[in-house]
Amino acid sequence: MSKSEGRAEEFFNQLQSDEEMQRKIRQGLENLAKEVGYEVTEEELSAELRKRWANQGAVGLVYSEPPGF
């Protein structure tokens, strides 16, 4: 594992238990949606992500990353 991979893992480990970080992620997602013209709440976005992640098989889109990355 590279140093950057280890740091990414540390970030997500902290994110799992840090409610303030989780709030910032949710709010950022809502703000991004509104910036590009979608009037949706973070609750609606979270529900849609959960639905897509549940239906995501071994091969498919990764909704946590923009296409092309």
Residue 49 CA to residue 26 CA, distance in Å, equals 11
Model confidence pTM above 0.85? no
Q: Which pLDDT does position 50 carry in this prediction?
A: 85
Residue 15 CA to residue 47 CA, distance in Å, equals 19
CB-CB neighbours of 30 under 10 Å: 19
Instruction: Give 7-63 pLDDT, tens digit per residue.
Output: 999 999 999 999 999 999 989 999 999 999 999 998 999 899 888 878 776 555 555
